């Protein structure tokens, strides 16, 4: 791709070049170069995408379960065979190392595999003879056109948290990818076409706030699945709800790891490195804060520092592969380093400083070095807010209770982890912590596809989590049917009373 390449939409089963005249740059974060422009939809393109999705829904929702299942299996096979291509696309636009890009595809593929078993999960229920001669049953039907709005950090996995289940259930989807790395969605659209999905069932609408607002305001769009930062998640939740849509809006995070004094500190240090610096900390389930229950902090910090010294940072596409790549943009890099400045100004100790970090041969790339901050005041904005970069903060606490209280007092409730060999403490943690996803000696507890993904508090607006049983509930709506087939021998009589179960 060249800078003049304009990444189009995918409408009606084909690439649809934009005529809006509006674009945004797509960078290669490792080199800092603009490698393409992405189309930003105008209202006419938004309307065209939604109209095509509505037509797609009308066709697709008439497909039998067996036919829909065949298309899903085809998509799964194609994805499984060709995922290395997708991983390279993700690395080129996002910057994460190729093996990590493969990791996100695999986690998305899990949801595709779950969705292939959808007939069992969208079955209704039947109660024979609920009242004399009366049967009651429920059926689950698709919603129609559903909108999916995704963040930059998982350009393949996050859309795959939603669309396999939405499509399996008979809906058509309009995906609005992040404008920072839009090509993964387009690649998956082409794969659906090859898998035999009818045109209009999978649409990619590239754009910015205008495209998002277009989806939020269109009466044809029945639901919104959003993943991104908390302020936007809240806006999406409020606007979509006001417009009568079903909505799930997953927001930001600030995940803590509570380390009890009995924990194996080598294991903890390894996991803090993996969960803190993997994908340059741009994961909503990254560990951002190590809560060290004294007296372990000094020893643990020494072990983390030793491991940071061995990390190799570079272009995620190079071979041999580095451990960590760049962050998404220069603006985001400056935001991250700005938080390190705030921590320092607020009196924290910068143990390892990732500011002013550069990689030989990639001086223009958007790199931040792995950063370790000790004694971060819990009143500092660098502690209370999400940084979303390779920055680990250490808070020294005196007890398990102090650690739990600190975690529960934060605005977010996405993920958390406890490291201990004490089963009783782990069990108390699991019961008392106000967080949606918990790891016990597991640092990034992203649930498997058949359990649902979602946080509490400012990390999720709405009732439904992503995928798993919640996913099937979200993308179907139920009808209850009460039916009587008259027995010619017994029917008849007028009764104006309220129906009773006699």
End-to-end CA, the chain: 71
Binders of ligand NAD in range 256-295 (CB under 6 A): 284
Instruction: Quote the least distance from Cβ 65 to ligand NAD, whole Å.
Output: 30
Q: State yes or no: is 57 an active-site residue.
A: no
Instruction: Quote the least distance from Cβ 466 to ligand NAD, whole Å.
Output: 7
Q: Of the candidates 27, 118, 152, 366, which one interacts with ligand NAD according to CB under 6 A?
A: 152
Binding to ligand NAD by residue 471, rule CB under 6 A? Answer: no
Cα(353)–Cα(305) distance, integer angstroms: 11
Segment contacting ligand NAD (CB under 6 A): 55-63, 251-259, 291-299, 353-361? Answer: 251-259
Cβ neighbors of 241 (< 8 A, separation 6 or more) are 247
Binding to ligand NAD by residue 27, rule CB under 6 A? Answer: no
Binding to ligand NAD by residue 473, rule CB under 6 A? Answer: no
Cβ neighbors of 437 (< 8 A, separation 6 or more) are 285, 414, 415, 416, 445, 446, 447, 453, 454, 455
Exposed/middle/buried for 335, CB within 10 Å: 0-12, 13-18, 19+?
middle
Instruction: Quote the least distance from Cβ 420 to ligand NAD, whole Å.
Output: 26
Binding to ligand NAD by residue 141, rule CB under 6 A? Answer: no
Q: Of the candidates 91, 109, 225, 459, which one interacts with ligand NAD according to CB under 6 A?
A: 459
Query: Which ranges in 346-467 belong to alpha helices (H)?
Result: 381-384, 400-409, 423-432
Nearer to ligand NAD, 178 or 371 (CB): 178
Binding to ligand NAD by residue 208, rule CB under 6 A? Answer: yes
Judged by CB under 6 A, the number of residues near ligand NAD is 27
Helix (H) / strand (E) element for 277: namely: helix 265-277
Instruction: Quote the least distance from Cβ 288 to ligand NAD, whole Å.
Output: 10
Nearer to ligand NAD, 252 or 278 (CB): 252
Q: What one-character DSSP code corresponds to residue 453?
A: B
Instruction: Quote the least distance from Cβ 460 to ligand NAD, whole Å.
Output: 7
Cβ neighbors of 11 (< 8 A, separation 6 or more) are 45, 48, 49, 52, 200, 203, 204, 205
CA dihedral 440, 446, 448, 453 (to 10 degrees): 120
**CA dist list (Å): 240 to 86, 91, 205:** 31, 32, 18
Binding to ligand NAD by residue 195, rule CB under 6 A? Answer: no
Residue 43 has a CB neighbour count (10 Å cut-off) of: 12
Binding to ligand NAD by residue 388, rule CB under 6 A? Answer: yes
Phi-psi region of 462 (alpha: psi -120 to 50; beta: other; left: phi over 0): left
Binding to ligand NAD by residue 314, rule CB under 6 A? Answer: no
Nearer to ligand NAD, 204 or 297 (CB): 204
Instruction: Quote the least distance from Cβ 362 to ligand NAD, whole Å.
Output: 22
Segment contacting ligand NAD (CB under 6 A): 23-31, 110-118, 227-235, 337-345? Answer: 227-235
Q: What one-character DSSP code corresponds to residue 448?
A: P
Q: Of the candidates 143, 185, 250, 407, which one interacts with ligand NAD according to CB under 6 A?
A: 250
Q: Of the candidates 18, 20, 31, 178, which one interacts with ligand NAD according to CB under 6 A?
A: 178
Identify the CA nearest to 473 among candidates 211, 124, 221, 93: 124
Q: 102 by DSSP, 3-state: which? A: helix
The active-site residue, picked from 166, 186, 268, 284, is: 284
Active site residues per annotation:
284
Contacts with ligand NAD, residue ranges (CB under 6 A): 149-154, 158, 176, 178-179, 208-209, 212, 227-229, 232, 250-253, 284, 386, 388, 414, 455, 459
């Amino acid at each position: 791709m060249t800078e003049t390449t304009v990444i189009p939409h995918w409408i009606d089963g084909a690439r649809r070049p934009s005529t809006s005249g509006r674009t945004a740059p797509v960078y290669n974060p490792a080199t800092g170069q603009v490698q393409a422009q992405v189309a930003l939809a105008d209202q006419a393109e938004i309307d065209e995408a939604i109209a095509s999705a509505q037509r797609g829904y009308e066709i697709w929702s008439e497909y039998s379960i067996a036919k829909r299942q065949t298309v899903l299996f085809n998509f799964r096979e194609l994805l499984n065979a060709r995922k290395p291509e997708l991983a390279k696309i993700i690395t080129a636009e996002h910057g994460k190392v190729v093996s990590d890009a493969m990791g996100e595809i695999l986690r998305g593929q899990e949801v595709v595999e779950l969705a292939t078993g959808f007939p069992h999960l969208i079955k209704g229920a039947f109660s024979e003879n609920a009242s004399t001669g009366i049967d009651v049953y429920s059926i689950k039907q698709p919603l129609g056109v559903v909108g999916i709005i995704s963040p930059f950090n998982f350009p393949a996995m996050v859309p795959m948290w939603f669309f396999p289940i939405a499509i399996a259930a008979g809906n058509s989807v309009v995906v609005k990818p992040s404008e920072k790395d839009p090509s993964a969605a387009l690649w998956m659209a082409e794969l659906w076409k090859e898998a035999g999905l009818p045109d209009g069932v999978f649409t990619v609408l590239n754009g910015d706030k205008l495209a998002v607002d277009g989806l939020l305001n269109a009466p044809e769009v029945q639901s919104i699945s959003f993943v991104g930062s908390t302020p936007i998640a809240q806006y999406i939740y409020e606007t979509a709800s006001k417009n009568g849509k079903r909505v799930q809006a997953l927001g930001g995070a600030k995940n803590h790891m509570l380390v009890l004094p009995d924990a194996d500190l080598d294991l903890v240090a390894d996991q803090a490195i993996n969960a803190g610096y993997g994908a340059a900390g741009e994961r909503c389930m990254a560990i951002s804060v190590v809560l060290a229950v004294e007296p372990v902090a000094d020893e643990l910090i020494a072990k983390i520092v030793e491991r940071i010294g061995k990390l190799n940072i570079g272009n995620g596409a190079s071979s041999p592969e580095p451990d960590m790549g760049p962050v998404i943009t220069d603006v985001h890099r400056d935001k991250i380093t700005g938080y390190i400045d705030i921590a320092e100004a607020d009196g924290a100790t910068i143990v390892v400083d990732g500011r002013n970090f550069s990689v030989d041969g990639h001086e223009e790339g958007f790199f931040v070095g792995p950063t370790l901050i000790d004694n971060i005041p819990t009143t500092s904005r660098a502690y209370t807010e999400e940084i979303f970069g390779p920055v680990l903060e250490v808070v020294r606490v005196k007890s398990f209770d102090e650690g739990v209280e600190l975690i529960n007092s934060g605005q977010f409730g996405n993920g958390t982890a406890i490291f201990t060999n004490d089963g009783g403490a782990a069990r108390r943690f699991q019961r008392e912590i106000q967080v949606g996803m918990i790891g016990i000696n597991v640092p990034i507890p992203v649930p498997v596809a058949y359990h649902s993904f979602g946080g509490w508090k400012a990390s999720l607006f709405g009732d439904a989590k992503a995928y798993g049983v919640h996913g099937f509930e979200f993308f179907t709506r139920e009808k209850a049917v009460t039916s009587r087939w008259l027995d010619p021998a017994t029917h008849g009589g007028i009764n104006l009373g309220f129906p009773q179960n006699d």
